[in-house]
């Protein structure tokens, strides 16, 4: 199956710092990527939709200034958690939509812990 790579897989940072998470589609072009957040034993909650070359679309209740998304190319989207606080600690997962077939493939996730 298609491969989506997420980096880093885990990160620990101090409160007030910013953290960048990368999502790459390794063997296909992805015009659209999605960013999700998952709390323990809960399902995935869509945060935003990232479209290559345009601004991301954020879901209701998600602060766009807190979670900066950039989709610079057909294979790379980044999520930057700015001025992170302990409540931002979570499991962040990206998915990439394959251009032709429209199927969605997920990265391995990035666990963020803010101290």
- Provide the binding-site residues for other proteins, judged by CB under 8 A: 1, 4, 6, 32, 34, 42-46, 49, 91, 93, 95, 97, 102-109, 111
Which of the 8 DSSP states describes residue 6? E
**10/16 with CB nearer other proteins:** 10
Q: Please, are residues 69 and 78 in contact by the beta-carbon 8 Å criterion?
A: yes
**12/15 with CB nearer other proteins:** 12
Q: Using alpha carbons, list the distances in angstroms from residue 55 to 33, 49, 64, 101.
A: 12, 9, 10, 23
Provide the 10 A C-beta neighbour count for residue 57. Answer: 15
CB of 108 to other proteins, least distance (A): 5
CB of 103 to other proteins, least distance (A): 6
């Amino acid at each position: 199956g298609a491969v989506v790579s997420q980096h880093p897989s885990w990160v620990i940072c101090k409160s007030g710092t910013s953290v960048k998470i990368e999502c790459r589609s390794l063997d296909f072009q992805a015009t659209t990527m999605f960013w999700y957040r998952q709390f323990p034993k809960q399902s995935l909650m869509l945060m935003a939709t990232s479209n290559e070359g345009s601004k991301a679309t954020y879901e209701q209740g998600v602060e766009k200034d807190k979670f900066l998304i950039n989709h610079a190319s057909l294979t790379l989207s980044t999520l930057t958690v700015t001025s992170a606080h302990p409540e931002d600690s979570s499991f962040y997962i990206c998915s990439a939509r394959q251009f032709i077939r429209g199927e969605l493939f997920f990265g391995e996730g990035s666990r963020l812990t803010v101290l």
